[in-house]
A and B are shown apart, each in its own frame.
Chain A
Amino acid sequence: MSSSQNQPVIQLEDGWNNVIKKGAIDVLERTLDDGFDTSFEPKEYIRIYTTCYDMCTQRSPYNWSRDLYQRHGETIEAYLRNTVLPALQDKTGQGGTILLNELKHRWSNHQIMNKWLRKFFTYLDRYYVKHHSLPTLEMAGLHHFKSEIYQNCKENTTSAIISLIDEEREGEIIDKTLVKSIAELFESMGTGSLDAYTFDLETPLLEATRSYYGRKREDWIAKDSTPDYLIKAEKALGEEKTRVMEYLNPSTEPKIRKVVEDEILQKVQTNLLEKEGSGCSVLLANDKTDDLQRMFHLFSRLENGLQPMANIVEKFITAQGNACIEKRQAKLDSGEKDKNDDPEFVKSLIDLHEKYLSVIRETFASHHLFQKALKNSFEEIVNNDVGQYSNAELMSTFCDRILKSGGEKLSEAEVEQSLDRIVQLFSFLTDKDLFAEIYRNQLAKRLLNQRSASDDAEKALIAKLKVQCGTQFTSKMEGMLNDLAVGSEQKNEFDQRMEQHGDTKLSFGVQVLTIGNWPSYKAPEVALPAQMSKCMEVFKEWHDAKHQKRRLTWVHSLGNATVRATYGKKFYDLQVTTLQAVVLAAFDNGQTYGFTELKDKLNLDDITLKPIMHSLSCGKQKVITKSPAGNKITSTDSFSPNAKFTCNMRKIRIPVASVESSHNKNRVEEDRSVAIEAAIVRIMKARKTLSHQQLVAEVLSQLAFFKPQPRVIKKRIEALIDREYLERSSENSQQYNVSLLISFWRCNPSLFFASYNFLRYVLIKSVPCLSGE
């Protein structure tokens, strides 16, 4: 306040006109118009500043703060209105770039002017503005620019920018810095927020973009194939991204991307995917990896954009698979006999799966939608059975071919790979239990006939199945392998025992099998020759001593033997089954038997004996003569040893036609019934009351190895109602209640489970192996 005491009071008009206007504003405006950079000498600056300061600090009524603040605004306003606006209006219509340049120039001028004025009047900012909560000088300056200039020319500016961008999109080179600085102008006009930029520039720009790409889309889609279109689309998306980075606000990026994606991808998605001659399925058919990959990446940008594509992939793979099936069907139709050991079909499916698995992995980045598509299509393909043999059987037989000795010649790695793939295929199968049943039968045959090529491979496959379906699924198969392992350990022990016994000339081996693990076999009570039954007794004695609680059932139908037959001076080793050996032994003395006589003597039934006699008397090697001769065994035939038998080999295999089918369908059906009922009871026990649909749904979700028809489930429910495990709910006929009788069941749960999965009882079957001289 000291200055006010020493100096005279400065009048408003005096101070304004003589010092501020003359010394600062006029100078400033002049230099701006001339285009020179303005700067004030420090001394000059101090003089003006001090004047302002004094005028603002004089005591009322000579305090001119309010007036100075007002005049500051008016000065800027006047300059903008009288000088800048006309200049800009002048340039309007002369082309976008000129207008933008002028605007840029004027804007930087304004910033200079604003800066200096703020410096001169800075004291206002410090007290007056604060006390009266007014916009700061700088803000006020901006406001004036906004209301005087910006509001008047923003539309023109925006359209100028848009047309520049459009030019650039067409490949021309534009002044990016210019656009960038104007974009910044728009940003500043929001005074702290981006509103002005968003409303005045961004929104019109997005609209323009939309219409631009809308036009492009129509143009491209009409002319280009899908891959070409996608290349262009990819390029456009990339350009838009760089554009935003180069001269727009980053917040625009997602918005503009969305618009472009919407215009050039979303709107023509179906069109692109299904385009004739170059759509998605055509690309798949021609293995156009790059194009598919591009398509995948582009559509993955869209929300739910991949689903339609995945659908096409699914349809395509299904069609491919169906082609394989049709091929098989056509083969059958053409009269070719359906063989279950034809690997071609399974192989074609495996190849198909391999191919698209890698396509999905490499091209579609293992996206879950595509994995699902592959799964869906293969579930459809694999469960589409045609012909006499189900796919489950074909697949099992395929495994059999790989695993048995003398099948396909494959290296270890190839075996491993084939098994891997077949198990993948298997995982799509609904009738997993059917596969298991057939597989077990074939495994049994391999193991018992010593046809298994490699123990390790067998174990490997079972391990793979275990991974897919759990321990329960493979427990029986593992049990089978285990039986054999135990058997070979005990063989030596028993052989020693046989030697001690000493009074039999036969070499004799037994394989003990756990019943339940193995398929069920017929065990005919054949009348054995004394020598053989002697051996059996020895073994039984030995075995009973070892295991008290086991019961042996002799399954002679699985055994085999080598019989040395002497014809005149020559002798032959006949490799036959135990039953054949028994029959041969009966002819030991050169006797002749009628069929019935033989049947009674050996205690065999027609069905068992007929194929044996057929093999011995009607096969390639006729070791026994049948009279009358012919190719069919009837019960009136009679047989005698063929004294004239010759053969140029010493070892002769005499195969018997197998009468048993490879698996027992009824057994699978029964197992399923039990499994369904167990599932129903389990669920109902937990839930007490459940509606029909819910129950069916839960049952389906619990059954892992097969998928029954709803009607089959319903039948099981009815069966349970009949047996009074369940009852219909009295309030609602669509619901079931657990009946009180369940409590009975609860006391005795093994009632169900014993027959279901966990075979607790152990019965022993065994196979005698006999070799006679």
Chain B
Amino acid sequence: MEGICKLCEQLDLDPLEDVRVLVLLWKMGANKKPAEIQKEEWMAACHKLQLDSIDSFKKFLPQLDTGFMDREEFGDFYKFCFQFNRAGTHKTLEKDLVVALLRMCLAGGRVEPDRLDSFCDFLESTKDETYSKITLDQWRSFLDFSYEYPNAKSLEGYDDSESAWPVLIDEYCEYMGKKMGKKK
């Protein structure tokens, strides 16, 4: 973890703000344990990506934009974001962390900003204790949900009694429905 911070410093990246750090780690295949990259993983990745100096890392940086990924790659990366940010053996992420992460990796047009904002707002405003921690299923479902209903203004055709979306998404839709109802 410290090593990662050091690397970031040298590359002029802010690990709390810049999604490229996560992309880099994802590309390097830091899958084994959350929040760290194993030596073997590091070595293998450096070899494969031909990274042998800070300069080469810097040259590599521009490729690390999430915009370059196709859907499948991004899905994989998105899941990685969740897994990498877990603490030790925990299976869930704290809500605050989830909001920050969502804003970080879904920025840049992957998901419509309105959808992202409203979802984060919903998460922050909800008082339901069970949502203080977010599960992988809920995390992944949000991305799929955003693909399925790309237009942030419209939830037409959404029926919570029929769909298999997690209850979190159901409740988000209810929240949105109320919000939109108010506007009208």
A contacts, CB < 8 Å to B: 691-693, 710-711, 714-715, 717-718, 721-722, 728, 733-736
Contacts and interface: CB of A to CB of B under 8 A. Distances in A.
A722 B91 contact: yes
Interface string B138-152: 100100100010000
A734 B135 CA distance: 18
Contacts of A733: 141, 144, 148, 164-165
Given A711-B170, A733-B141, A733-B144, 12 more contacts: A692-B162, A711-B160, A714-B164, A714-B166, A714-B167, A714-B170, A715-B167, A718-B135, A718-B167, A721-B137, A733-B165, A734-B164
B161 A722 contact: no
A570 B129 CA distance: 60
Contacts of A721: 135, 137
A735 B167 contact: no
Interface string B120-145: 00000000000000011110010010
A736 B164 contact: yes
Nearest to A720: B137
A691 B137 contact: no
Nearest to B145: A733
B53 interface: no
A722 B170 CA distance: 18
A459 B165 CA distance: 47
B163 interface: yes
B144 A722 contact: no
A736 B141 CA distance: 13
Shortest 5 CB-CB contacts between residues of A and residues of B: A692-B164, A734-B164, A721-B137, A722-B135, A718-B166
A728 B137 contact: yes
Given A722-B91, A728-B137, A691 B164 contact: yes
A722 B164 contact: no
Nearest to B161: A710
Q: B144, B148, B166: which has the most chain A beta carbons within 10 Å? A: B166
A77 B135 CA distance: 100
Contacts of B137: 718, 721-722, 728
Q: A692, A718, A721, A735: which has the most chain B beta carbons within 10 Å? A: A718
Contacts of B170: 711, 714
Contacts of A693: 162
B167 A711 contact: yes
A733 B137 CA distance: 11
A736 B165 CA distance: 11
A295 B137 CA distance: 58
A717 B170 CA distance: 14
Contacts of B148: 733
A717 B167 CA distance: 10
B136 A722 contact: yes
Contacts of B141: 728, 733
A693 B91 CA distance: 27
B84 to A, nearest CB: 18
Contacts of B167: 711, 714-715, 718
B19 to A, nearest CB: 25
Contacts of A691: 164
A724 to B, nearest CB: 9
B154 to A, nearest CB: 19
B103 to A, nearest CB: 24
Contacts of B91: 722
Interface in B154-176: 160-167, 170
Contacts of A714: 164, 166-167, 170
Contacts of A711: 160, 167, 170
23 contacts: A691-B164, A692-B164, A710-B161, A711-B160, A711-B170, A714-B164, A714-B166, A714-B170, A715-B167, A717-B164, A718-B135, A718-B137, A718-B138, A718-B167, A721-B135, A721-B137, A722-B91, A722-B135, A722-B136, A733-B144, A734-B164, A735-B164, A736-B164
A158 B176 CA distance: 74
A407 B99 CA distance: 60
Nearest to A712: B167
A363 B111 CA distance: 65
Nearest to B165: A733
A403 to B, nearest CB: 40
Contacts of A692: 162-164
B162 to A, nearest CB: 6
A721 B165 CA distance: 12
A728 B169 CA distance: 15
A693 B165 CA distance: 11
A714 B160 CA distance: 10
Nearest to A718: B166
A728 B148 CA distance: 15
A417 B172 CA distance: 52
Contacts of B163: 692, 734
Q: A691, A692, A736: which has the most chain B beta carbons within 10 Å? A: A692
Contacts of B166: 714, 718
Contacts of A718: 135, 137-138, 166-167
Interface in B28-52: none
A721 B138 CA distance: 10
Contacts of A735: 164
A722 B130 CA distance: 13
A735 B144 CA distance: 14
A89 B163 CA distance: 79
A722 B167 CA distance: 13
B160 to A, nearest CB: 7
A752 to B, nearest CB: 20
A329 to B, nearest CB: 28
Nearest to A733: B144
Nearest to B91: A722
Contacts of B138: 718
A721 B167 CA distance: 13
A721 B92 CA distance: 13
A714 B164 CA distance: 8
A639 B51 CA distance: 82
B72 to A, nearest CB: 11
Nearest to B144: A733
A321 B167 CA distance: 35
Nearest to A695: B164
A555 B60 CA distance: 71
Contacts of B144: 733
